[in-house]
Structures are given as C-alpha cells and as structure tokens.
Amino acid sequence: MRIGVVGAGIIGLAVARRLAELRPDATVTVLEKESDIATHQTGRNSGVVHAGIYYAPGSLKARLCRLGVAQLHAYCTERKIPYEECGKLVVAVDESEVGRLRELERRATENGVPGMRWLEGDELREIEPHAAGVAGLHSPTTAITDYRAVARAFRDDLETGGGSVVLGAPVTAIVVGADTVRVRAGEEEREFDRLVVCAGVYSDRLARLAGDEDEPVIVPFRGEYHRLAPGREDLVRGLLYPVPDPAYPFLGVHFTRRVSGGVDVGPNAVLALAREGYRRRDVRIGDLAATLRSPGFRRLARRHWRMGARELRGSLWRGAFAAEARRYVPTLRTEDLVPGPAGIRAQALDPDGSLVDDFRIRHLGQVTVVRNAPSPGATSSMAIADHIADEVLRAS
Ligand SMILES: Cc1cc2nc3c(=O)[nH]c(=O)nc-3n(C[C@H](O)[C@H](O)[C@H](O)COP(=O)(O)OP(=O)(O)OC[C@H]3O[C@@H](n4cnc5c(N)ncnc54)[C@H](O)[C@@H]3O)c2cc1C
C-alpha cells in the first residue's frame, strides 16, 4: 500500500508515523512544500500541553485532547523531550466572570482532567503571587513542551520505520481515480492508494483540489506575542489564563512560560492579510480577496467588528495590549513587554459565520482531509493520528 500525507506539521508527521507503525508493509511518504518540517503552526505556537479544561464534553477535542496528553507525556519522557508540568491558573478578574469559571470547572470534571482545584483570595496568590482575580481554577498537570522537537522525533520514527519526508514538494494537483490518487508535488507526479491531507492554513484549498466541499473556508488569524522583558519573567510562575469568552474562545491575554526560558504574553488575534503573513505588512491579494469573498467571513465581520477593532488596537499599540494584560497582573508596566514572534491560526469558518469549534476530519473514499485542527491540535496530535489511521486502514 502506498500512502501519501500532505504537510509536515505535527499532525501530518504524527499520522504518517502511526500509519508506518501499523502497516510496516506500506510505503508512507510525507510531501511538504517548505524546506524544513514544522515551519508553520507547529513551530509557532504557545507550546502548551492543554489538559482538556475548555472543550465541550463528548466533542472530538475533549476526547482526543485527554488521550493525546497521556500519549504525549509518555512520548516526551521516553524521548527525553522537555515536558514541564508548570500548571495553569485560569482567573476570573471580577464577579461577572465567576459563573463562566464554574462552567469551566464543570467541563474539566466531566472531561476527566485530574487535580483541578477551585481557589479564592490568598490561595490564588500562593500559586501566582502577582495575579489579580476574585477566583481561580488551577490545573496542576497542564504542561509546556517543545513541539518542534516533538515533530522532529516523529519524523525520525517515520524514517526509522521506512517512511520518508520529501521537502520542497508543494502539492498543486490531486486527481482521485477509481482506486488510486494521483498527486502533483513540485515537478513530480506521484500515485498513492491513500492520501491524508494535513495542510494547516491551506487545508481548505487542498480539500477542494481533492473534490471536497468549498466550506468551511480557512480564515487566517495572526496571533502576535509579546515577551516579558529580561528581569521581569518572575511576574508569572507557570501559565496564567483568562476565562475564555464562549463567543471568542481563543481571545484574551495569556501568560505562557516557555521550556526554553522566558514568558510570552499573548497571542492576540488579528486577521492576517496573507495566509502565511507573519508580519503586519505581509499582504497577498489572492488570500485577502478569498477571505473577503467568503460569506462566512462577511457574517463574522458584521457580527464581531467591535472585537476585531479592539484586537487591532492592541496589535498596533503596545500600551493597549499592556492595559489588557494588567487586568491579570496589575504590577505589569508597558515597558515590561518586548515584541515577540507571531503565529497564524488555521481557523475554519462555517458559511453562517461561526468559527468551527471542534476538530473536523472528512473521509472521502481514498482521501482523508483534516479541515479544522486548531488548538489543542498539537497536544492531541498522537490521538488525532490514531483516530485518522484507524479510519484510513479500515477503508482499505
Ligand atoms: C498562535 C498559535 C498558538 C497555538 N498554541 C497551541 C498550544 O499552546 N497548544 C496546542 O496544543 N496547540 C496550539 N496551537 C495549535 C497547533 O499549533 C495546531 O493545532 C497544530 O500545529 C496543527 O498542526 P498541523 O500539522 O495541522 O499544521 P501546520 O503545523 O500548520 O502544518 C501544515 C503543513 O502543511 C504544509 N502545506 C500546506 N500546503 C501544502 C501544500 N500544498 N503542499 C505541501 N505542503 C503543504 C505547510 O507548509 C505546513 O508545514 C496554536 C496555534 C497557533 C497558530
């Protein structure tokens, strides 16, 4: 059996590794357009191993995150990849947020997240001495890791198992035949019996090439980070998060400790004017036109333009970003923040303008397409791989 995988991010590599492990007789080939692996979402995320607090019980996210954490923890330990259970504190800054924090506690319990504790007053300050807030939910097992290192280890496993990663191989055409799939990758044509598409921010375009529906489209949201300036990293001990607003689950200033040292503050979420535009000035007319043409995006923009404007203000003006961050750490000064890197979220959007919340994976005969795998996609990568590999091999 010849299996092709498009995309050498953490999900494509995890899927390829798992397929090679389950079917040692198969030839597994990963096609990646860049000259290295993990250059997009996988190499530009927050590095958090989410414990499964937020996700709707019963959803794919809830299930695969819990399974994924256990697998990733064991894998990092075995492969000596940094994995630090620094813990996460989610804080309600005022009484209006306490109800939503209680709902998170309920979800976390239902999802089986271990060790959760409800904290008030000074108990909060014992965990994070500089944090503000009237109540907090503490997850001691939430961890941080290095997802690039995890992706490299997945590639090593794949290659040891006889599979390969072809770099500099952009997939530009997919033709699905009766039993096989022909793929144009760079200058070459390749034929596979099964194809799995894990193309991140381009997953909708590749899905369409493979004959899938147009929707959901991907809307790229850039997440810009600041960093705590050297000498101020002790403002936060572990991970300090806001209570998410159900309408904007990925918004709100987070403080995230890194395994490499230092603390990131962010990311925010502003519309990216190019799908891989990591700088504010990066614009690709084709990408922008596709976003603006999408009915889902227009509905989203009409409904949420105020929030969009607020995020943009924080992006353009460090003082506004710092003011938001000060709600959680009142002693933070604007000069404590220095510019950090940026990542782009591949967020799928349904035509009615709602953000696709759960992981979305479509099986279309010989082709499987990951159409939505936002956070906690990296945390869940090994469980997503099991889920996809079972389905791909069952269909064979
Ligand atoms: C700012 C930010 C913070 C995040 N924080 C966290 C976190 O703390 N914890 C967590 O669990 N998750 C987090 N996530 C989510 C996580 O990073 C993603 O779920 C995960 O990386 C998705 O992996 P992927 O392999 O699907 O995508 P990617 O890593 O984006 O990989 C897709 C790959 O496909 C390739 N590709 C695309 N088109 C083609 C083509 N035509 N031909 C060949 N190759 C192609 C790309 O070059 C790329 O290498 C975060 C994401 C972002 C953006």
Q: Annotate 299-356 with DSSP letters as a single string.
A: HHHHHHHHHHHHHHHHHH-HHHHHHHHHTT-TT--GGGEEEEEEEEEEEEE-TTSPBP
| Percent of the chain scoring above 70 in pLDDT | 99
Q: Best mutation site among 30, 33, 41 for ligand 1, i.e. most ligand atoms within 8 A of its Cβ?
A: 41
Residue 309 has pLDDT above 80, yes or no: no
Dist. CA 233–CA 174, nearest whole Å = 48
Kindly give the distance from the C-alpha atom of residue 200 to the centroid of ligand 1, in angstroms, as a whole number.
5
225 in ligand 1 pocket by Cβ < 6 Å? no
Whether the CB-CB separation of 131 and 124 falls below 8 Å is answered with yes
Q: Provide the pLDDT for residue 306.
A: 80
Q: What mean pLDDT value characterizes the chain?
A: 94
Q: List pLDDT tens digits, range 77-100.
A: 999 999 999 999 999 999 999 999
CA-344 nearest atom, ligand 1: 53
Angstrom distance (rounded) from CA 356 to CA 157: 32
Integer Cα distance of 335 and 337 in angstroms: 5
Query: For position 254, what pLDDT does the model report?
Result: 92
The residue-averaged pLDDT of 261-269 equals 90
Ligand 1 atom 14: the closest Cα is on which residue? 375
Which residue owns the Cα nearest ligand 1 atom 22? 377
- Ligand 1: which residue has its CA nearest to atom 41? 171
The closest residue, in CA terms, to atom 4 on ligand 1 is: 45
Amino acid at the residue 384: I
pLDDT tens for residues 24-61? 999 999 999 999 999 999 999 999 999 999 999 999 99
Q: Of residues 18 and 122, which shows the higher confidence score?
A: 18
- Give the pLDDT confidence of 141-188 residue by residue, as tens digits: 999 999 999 999 999 999 999 999 999 999 999 999 999 999 999 999
| 320 has a pLDDT exceeding 90 | no
Measured CA to CA, the distance from residue 277 to residue 244 in angstroms comes to 26
CB of 145 closer than 6 angstroms to any ligand 1 atom: no
Q: What is the mean pLDDT of residues 99-103?
A: 96
Q: What is the pLDDT of residue 396?
A: 66
Residue owning the nearest CA to atom 13 of ligand 1: 375
Q: At 305, is the pLDDT very low, low, confident or very high (cuts 50, 70, 90)? A: confident
Does ligand 1 come within 6 angstroms of the Cβ of 209? no
CB atoms inside a 10 Å sphere around CB 118: 12
Q: Which atom of ligand 1 is nearest to the CA of 7?
A: 34
Residue 40, ligand 1, Cβ within 6 A: yes
pLDDT beyond 70 at 213: yes
Between the CA of 278 and the centroid of ligand 1 the distance, in Å, is 14
Site to probe by mutation for ligand 1, drawn from 375, 380, 387 as the one with most ligand atoms within 8 Å of Cβ, is 375
C-beta 39 within 6 A of ligand 1 = yes
Please give the distance, rounded to the nearest whole angstrom, from the Cα atom of residue 41 to the centre of ligand 1: 3
% of the chain with per-residue pLDDT over 90 = 82
Residue 231 — very low, low, confident or very high, per pLDDT cuts 50/70/90?
very high
52 Cβ closer than 6 Å to some ligand 1 atom? no
- Whether 168 is in the pocket of ligand 1, judged by its Cβ within 6 Å, is no
